[in-house]
Structure 1
Amino acid sequence: MIIIAGKLWVDAADRGAYLAGCSSIVEQARAAVGCLDFALSADSIEPGRINVYERWKTDEDLARFRGAGPESEQVAQIRDAEVSKYRIFDVEAP
């Protein structure tokens, strides 16, 4: 399993519009083969922060979905990012 997790920062005044512009991407990801979860959400205490969480079955599933990557308009709005890819080899119930 692959987990993509981290955070993006956009201008606080633009965060709502940025997230609204991502809703179709979230829908596409969740419908994609191998997607187990996909979420982009506003942080509850930092006005310009967006939390990123994705879960994929395989690298191939992730690569197939990513294709060319985000739209250039979205990339231009990102002021900073800290996003990492994690490989999970075992999952246990809490």
Structure 2
Amino acid sequence: MAIIVAGKLTIKSGSRDEFIEKSCEATLQARENEACDDFSVSPDPIDLNRVNIYEKWKSRSALDAFRGSGPESDIFSLVVCFDVNEYEINT
């Protein structure tokens, strides 16, 4: 079973580029993790305050371990609201 994390974040007006930049370290760490199949934090091409999230992990335990060890950051102070869901898929 794999875990997909997907959705969108609404970022404070004018802060999207800062959010993307602050996401780079976590993105690099995730992609270097052998239990991570994909990890992306992307600016929406239409909405200047939206960021799209996509992650694919080999297991729930791998995702939970990454969340517990990710880089420290005040990145979520830039988030106004989020709509992100997790999906378990059989591979």
TM-score scaled by structure 2?
0.91
Give 1:71 shift: 4.2
Q: Is the 8 A contact 1:12 1:49 kept in 2?
A: no
Aligned equivalent of 2:17? 16
Output the amino acid matched with 1:6. G
Q: CA RMSD, aligned part only? A: 1.5
Give 1:33 shift: 2.9
Output the amino acid matched with 2:80. R
Runs of 4+ in 1 over 2 A off after TM superposition: 68-72
Aligned equivalent of 2:89? 88
Larger radius of gyration: 1
Give 1:32 shift: 1.3
Deviations 1:8-62 (A, max 9, x none): 0112311001101111110001111310000000001111000000000000110
Query: Which 5+ residue runs of structure 1 have no aligned equivalent?
Result: none
TM-score scaled by structure 1?
0.88
Aligned equivalent of 1:77? 78
Other structure's SS at 1:3 match: strand
Q: Is the 8 A contact 1:8 1:51 kept in 2?
A: yes
Aligned pairs, how many?
A: 90
Structure (1 or 2) with the greater strand fraction:
2
Aligned equivalent of 1:29? 30
Aligned equivalent of 2:55? 54
Other structure's SS at 1:17 match: helix
Output the CA distance in 2 between the equivalents of 1:71 and 1:43.
24
Query: Which 5+ residue runs of structure 2 have no aligned equivalent?
Result: none
Output the CA distance in 1 between the equivalents of 2:69 and 2:29.
14
Give 1:69 shift: 6.2
1:38 aligns with 2:23: no
